[in-house]
Each structure stands twice: as structure tokens, then as C-alpha cells.
């Protein structure tokens, strides 16, 4: 419990946003059958950069899936 008190207060929302982005991006990658991306998103700790990059650039578009 003492370790949690050492975390700066501004870092907690950043960690929540990063975890949320990572989860959304991993789910989208799995749905799009981009399993390499899914594994990379789960294993690589990139402070939110990799999930945003995937969601913004590498996700298959809905029109391409049809």
C-alpha cells in the first residue's frame, strides 16, 4: 500500500487512459484478425503510443472488411 502513495497523482489518470486505449486497440486488432498487432499491443508497454498508432493508422477500415 505504501508503494501506491509514492505514485504521483497525475500519473494515475494517464495509466487508466493508457490501459483503456490498449484494451480497445487489442480488441479491434483481434476482431480484424490482426493477431500480430494484438499480441504486440498486449505485450509492449509503450505509454499509449502503440495503441493510438494502431487505432489511427493500421486498423482495417470498415469498408475494407465488407
Q: What is the mean pLDDT of residues 15-31?
A: 88
Residue where the block lists cell 487512459: 17
Picking from 63, 9, 34, the residue whose alpha carbon sits closest to that of residue 53 is: 34
Domain membership of residue 5 (yes or no) is no
pLDDT for 40 equals 85
Domain membership of residue 27 (yes or no) is yes
Specify the number of domains making up the chain.
1
Domain membership of residue 46 (yes or no) is yes
Contact 58, 28 (CB under 8 A): no
Q: What is the pLDDT of residues 28-56, one digit of tens each?
A: 999 999 889 888 888 887 767 788 787 77
pTM above 0.85, yes or no: no
Domain membership of residue 28 (yes or no) is yes
Range of the domain at 16: 11-58
Amino acid at each position: 500500500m505504501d508503494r501506491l502513495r509514492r505514485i504521483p497523482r497525475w500519473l494515475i489518470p494517464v495509466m487508466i487512459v493508457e490501459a483503456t486505449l490498449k484494451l480497445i486497440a487489442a480488441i479491434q486488432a483481434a476482431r480484424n484478425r490482426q493477431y500480430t498487432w494484438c499480441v504486440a499491443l498486449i505485450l509492449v508497454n509503450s505509454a499509449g503510443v502503440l495503441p493510438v498508432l494502431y487505432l489511427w493508422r493500421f486498423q482495417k477500415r470498415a469498408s475494407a472488411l465488407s
